[in-house]
Amino acid sequence: MNVFVVPHDPAWKEAFDRESQHIHEALGEFPIELHHIGSTSIPGILAKPIIDLLGAVEDLEALDAHNIVLESLGYQAKRAFGIAGRRYFRKGNASGNRTHHLHVFEHGSQHFERHIAFRDFLRTHPAKAAEYSELKARVTAAGDVTSDAYIDAKGLFMVAIEKLALDWYRKRTPEG
């Protein structure tokens, strides 16, 4: 599957809000904290048009018992999908295009923290966000980049920004 990026769409926030509401309603009393992450959550930058949701729960095994509920919303449960301590779900539309990713970790997970730190850092550092957007434009300019090649091409930038973001985030949060 080839990767393409598009200009930021302000409607992505509304799409996150709607999907978050659907998930909360479907899960009923099961407590899950949801956040909009990924490039669609960062105004002004290019993004794959897929809404990334980050969830936090007290117990991943308790969430596993609710997979059927998420599947009823169109999600495909993929278990850890390469990241220990995560539950990953993906959703597509009738055309087979992916529309949503749901990444769930337990409260206090370092993975949860790094996603929030990365998002908040780029939201408050527009020059770094623009640099990230430009990198995405260069990587996808040929129009035939695979998902693996896209991830690899962003790798060094992501590692560097993630370190800056975590340092910045930890300095500004009470727990840090």
Q: What is the pLDDT of residue 145?
A: 86
Q: Identify the CATH number of the domain in which residue 86 sits.
A: 3.30.460.10
Q: Residue 26 domain-assigned?
A: yes
Query: Full-prediction pTM beyond 0.75?
Result: yes
Q: Distances from the Cα of 2 to the Cαs of 90, 139, 150, 161, in angstroms? A: 17, 12, 9, 25
Per-position pLDDT tens, the chain of length 176: 678 899 999 999 999 999 999 999 999 999 999 999 999 999 999 999 999 999 999 999 999 999 999 999 999 999 999 999 999 999 999 998 999 999 999 999 999 999 999 999 999 999 999 999 999 999 999 888 888 899 899 999 999 999 999 999 999 876 65
Sign of CA dihedral 21, 11, 147, 105: negative
| Number of domains composing the chain | 1
State the residue range of the domain holding 58. Answer: 11-172
pLDDT of the residue at 3: 86
Q: Residue 92: what pLDDT?
A: 95
Residue 2 lies in a domain: no
Residue 4 belongs to some domain of the structure = no
Residue 6 counted as domain residue? no
pLDDT at 1: 66
Q: What is the pLDDT of residue 143?
A: 82
pLDDT, residue 175, reads: 61
Show contacts of 23-28: CB within 8 Å, 24+ apart.
23/53, 23/55, 23/70, 23/73, 23/102, 26/69, 26/70, 26/72, 26/73, 27/66, 27/69, 27/70
121 belongs to a structural domain: yes
Report the pLDDT value the prediction gives residue 173, as an integer from 0 to 100. 73
The answer as to whether 36 is a domain residue is yes
Whether residue 42 lies inside any domain: the answer is: yes
Is 153 domain-assigned?
Answer: yes
